[in-house]
Amino acid sequence: MAETILTGIRPTGNLHLGHYSSAIRLLLDIQEKGDYDNFYVMIADTQALTDNAKNVDKVKNSVVQVAIDLLSAGLDPKKATIFIQSEVPELFEMTGYFMNLVTLSRLKRNPTIKEEIKQRGYETSLPVGFLTYPISQAADILLFSPTIIPAGDDQAPMIEQAREIAHSFNTQYAPIFKMPKGMIPESKVVARLPGLDGKLKMSKSLGNCIYLYEDEAAVKQKIMNAYTDPSHIKVSDPGKVEGNTVFAYLDAFCKPEHFEKYLPEYKSLDELKAHYRRGGLGDVKVKLFLNNIINEILTPIRAKRKELENNIDDIYKMLFENGKKMRKIADKKIAEMHDAIGINYQKFLNK
């Protein structure tokens, strides 16, 4: 069956290896397979503003940066429609109608929102727009009739809630929504890359990221300082692979051919890990190996980025064009929605 694929990404900073490992690789894989009719990638600026009302600069400057990050990583503007959320105001209209179908207690039960409210310390200062963003995300998901939503595992509750809203609407008014399915990466390593400091997640706010735009020297320095196993002091000491950032990155990015190219004394990651566990393998050697692999990934991305940065206007123009195209699709769905609810007053005219 021909699929329509839609995903969203919040513009709150440049994209890093964590995004590459989870989201971007998944999108490139989809693009390469080409098994779809439409492939929409939304830069979710209005969603980013729900917890950044006072940081508009950060959000607005990140929009084009995220577009550059995506394109330089290999997203092809001929194969994927990248657009800006705020260019499609119909999303707000749909959100408004959906708000009548969701209870406050249901919203507060969404596990992702619960966690995010805690992280942000919003106990007594929770913006209404933030609490309700799962409803606006349901509109993102339902306005353009996608069948598949690629996203990280933390987005599963959002997709679930969108399906619930679609179901409520379909039964209350008329069945105009198809049920989209999530496409969540399976492997835990791929889904969540740890930070350079060993913390659970690579995240801008923790300052433990390798950004796609960073140059070779900066990346090497970060890798050489990455958290490994603090009790692996001498080369001869046995080392732990679990919780070791460098090995987590190797799990995410190392392929068998990397050994042939950069570390021919070993045949596989298992062999390398076994030696590290036994003792006799130093961190520096493993880190230099990792650095070669990461550099191999980032070199073409950096080159493409240079090219794109000379044509920022073209990127904006593409985003605007795409926004118009998405609005046309949105207009039709909103009309269908008015019809379903019964508020299409044109029909009341006697001619």
Site of interaction with ligand TRP (CB under 6 A): 6-10, 42, 44, 47, 137, 140-141, 149, 151, 155, 158
Q: How far is the CB of 158 from ligand TRP (least distance, A)?
A: 6
Q: How far is the CB of 116 from ligand TRP (least distance, A)?
A: 9
Q: How far is the CB of 335 from ligand TRP (least distance, A)?
A: 22
* Degrees to nearest 5, angle at CA 121 with 117 and 122: 60
Task: Name the 3-class secondary structure at 209.
Answer: coil
> DSSP alpha helices (H): ranges in the chain?
17-19, 25-33, 45-49, 56-72, 90-99, 104-109, 111-119, 128-131, 133-143, 156-172, 188-191, 216-224, 245-253, 256-262, 269-278, 283-309, 312-341
Distances in whole angstroms, Cα of residue 73 to Cα of each of 23, 24, 164 = 11, 8, 34
59 or 250: CB nearest ligand TRP: 59
80 or 246: CB nearest ligand TRP: 80
Give 286-308 as a 3 state SS string. HHHHHHHHHHHHHHHHHHHHHHH
Q: How far is the CB of 348 from ligand TRP (least distance, A)?
A: 35
58 or 304: CB nearest ligand TRP: 58
Residue 28 tokens, joined: 């490139």
Give the CB-nearest residue to ligand TRP: 8
C-beta neighbour count of 235 within 10 angstroms: 13
Q: Hey, which residues does 4 pair with through a beta bridge?
A: 38
239 or 323: CB nearest ligand TRP: 323
Q: How far is the CB of 112 from ligand TRP (least distance, A)?
A: 8
10 or 273: CB nearest ligand TRP: 10
Q: How far is the CB of 22 from ligand TRP (least distance, A)?
A: 10
130 or 276: CB nearest ligand TRP: 130
